[in-house]
Amino acid sequence: MRKALVNNLQLFGKSLFAPILLLPIIGLFIAFGNVFGNGNLAQYVSFLDFPLIQNTGKFISSSAVSILQNLALVFAVGIPIGLAKKDKGYAALTGLVTFVIFINAMHQILDLTHRLVPTETMKSAGQAMVLNVQVLEMGVFSGLFIGALVGVLHNKFCNTEFKGVLSIYSGHRFVAILAIPSAMILGALAAQFWPYAQTGITTVANGIRGMGVFGFLVYGFLERILVPTGLHHLVYTPFLYTELGGVAHIGSETVYGARNIYFAEMADPTVSVLSSTVNWDARGLSKMFGLMGAALAMYVTASKDKKSLAKAILLPAAVTSFLLGVTEPLEFAFLFTAPILFGIHAVLTGIGMMLLSVFHVHAIGANGIIDFLLYNLPLGTTKSNWPMFILTGLMMATIYFLVFRFLILKMNLKTPGREDDAETAAAPSPVKAPASGAAGKLPVPSLIAAGNQSAPAPTLGATIIAALGGSDNIENIDNCYTRLRLILKDPDAVNEGVLKETGSKGIIKSGNNVQVVYGLHVKTVRDQVDQQLGGI
């Protein structure tokens, strides 16, 4: 029971990647528009002080920010893409149709029960316009529910086949036949019972806010400690996109969720200071600063004769974390060899976010330094007091360095460059094309060492598949930013040694879910595996 629950949560968490990874791109366009349309910045950069440039900037940011009013639709379409094992395009289309039917069904129940209120009182009554349809304000929850519903129905019934004249209703059409009345029923139920759920969510949000700065500590700790399981997305997503992360009235709109709020505030020149809710998305503090201190501690404590090896592992990983906010390559350098350090890392992440609240920092720092500068510099130091974020980050980098260095030396932890000689990897052997068969019979090749992708694609893909127990062992394959995410029939058939020789930085197993960490080039690895599989 517990195993099935964890598996389902991991699958749902994986499905959130499609919409979640799209939204930072929207944020970049908002920030890009702010660079050209920011009147304050034009005082210092003269060429920006032209009506055409100012208007172009406002046009870009205002166009991009409109997606925030339609996030539920984005999730309703994006989640089925992440959940579907095949025919992802049809799953997305079904999600779109089902969502439209859902909101109209809710509207009809509200109308029939005479509960629709005039436009001017919608906010106080908990109602809003979604795709020009007046419904109860559910935020992204409506998209999450519909996306999950369609994803489950699609996987369960997309292979259903009928014979004779009914054959036209087979496959994805049968999924739509089931999804449409389900959406109607859900819409009717939502119209009746969502107010009670909304009361519960508000109570939880008030409880977290009632914890004061300690709420940030608990949140930051949970978000990091769950990274190895892949469930951390289920922690931060509600805070970024729902009432849990705050509610703000910006212009004529009511905005829910920390990320939605600061995106809207970035695009609104009448907002003089970013809301304090921005700190629910300050996860970049440990990515840009904390882990830099950790990497330096691991380097200085490495054995003298292995410092070059430690540098080769730590430097690229630290640069990736600092610039882009992608932490897995660095975190997995010590997660398995010194798990206590990862626990300390999670605690320090929470402490850092708590300090940002204590110091009244209101700067945007979700990922790496590139996003940080692009988002904050155009806003100025009043709207975004980003220098305080940097000072807090430098403080956390120092704390990370001192704590990591002390624990590594005190406990003789086997961080990079401190491994016993027997544990040090041997020199790579020449690549050999794997024969078909069990992964355990394969020679150990070296195909992607430290991000080197010079090996022929078919050799790499075939080797990874064999190391996963063969194509018959793979039920589903997907990827996120840095990991291959798989569902295997027999996880014990995985040859971790071979996977590590292909460039994997870590393997995580949870039930039938297996995650293989490759870093930013994971999409290339996925494409090569797909080429060998011919699609699953």
The predicted-structure confidence for 271-300, as pLDDT tens digits, reads as follows: 999 999 999 999 999 999 999 999 999 999
Q: Is 192 exposed, middle or buried (0-12, 13-18, 19+ CB in 10 A)?
A: middle
Pick from 240, 86, 65: nearest CA to 175 = 86
The rounded distance, in Å, linking the Cα atoms of 483 and 9 is 17
The whole-chain average pLDDT of the chain stands at 84
Q: Name the residue range of residue 464's domain.
A: 460-533
State pTM to two decimals.
0.69
Of the candidates 151, 172, 201, which is a domain's last residue? 201
Residue 402 lies in a domain: yes
At 505, the pLDDT band (50, 70, 90 cuts) reads confident
Of the candidates 353, 381, 411, which is a domain's last residue? 411
**273 & 188 share domain:** no
Considering only 16-20, 275-279, 395-399, which range has the smallest mean pLDDT?
Answer: 16-20
Of the candidates 201, 218, 238, which is a domain's last residue? 201
390 vs 370, residue with greater confidence: 390
Residue 233 lies in a domain: no
Residue 254 lies in a domain: no
Residue 208 lies in a domain: no
**407 & 466 share domain:** no
The reported pLDDT for the residue numbered 39 is 60
Answer whether residue 248 shows pLDDT above 50: yes
Active site residue 480: yes
Residue 216 lies in a domain: no
Residue 241 lies in a domain: no
Pick from 112, 136, 141: nearest CA to 123 = 136
Q: In 41-152, which ranges are E strands?
A: 127-130, 133-136
The reported pLDDT for the residue numbered 452 is 45
Catalytic residue among 448, 480, 488, 494: 480
**36 & 127 share domain:** yes
Helix (H) or strand (E) holding 510: strand 506-510
Q: Per the structure, how many domains does the chain have?
A: 3
Residue 488 has phi, psi (to 5 degrees) of -115, 145
At 443, the pLDDT band (50, 70, 90 cuts) reads very low
**402 & 464 share domain:** no
DSSP SS3 for 432 = coil
CATH number at residue 520: 3.30.1360.60
**273 & 371 share domain:** yes
**181 & 314 share domain:** no
For residues 471-489, give the mean pLDDT.
84
**1 & 91 share domain:** yes
The reported pLDDT for the residue numbered 43 is 64
**187 & 103 share domain:** yes
The rounded distance, in Å, linking the Cα atoms of 259 and 316 is 29
Q: Residues 319-365: pLDDT tens digits?
A: 989 988 888 788 888 887 889 999 999 999 999 999 999 999 999 99
**121 & 190 share domain:** yes
Answer whether residue 447 shows pLDDT above 60: no
The reported pLDDT for the residue numbered 437 is 39
120 vs 17, residue with greater confidence: 120
**497 & 379 share domain:** no
**490 & 394 share domain:** no
**375 & 467 share domain:** no
Residue 66 lies in a domain: yes
Residue 247 lies in a domain: no
The reported pLDDT for the residue numbered 40 is 62
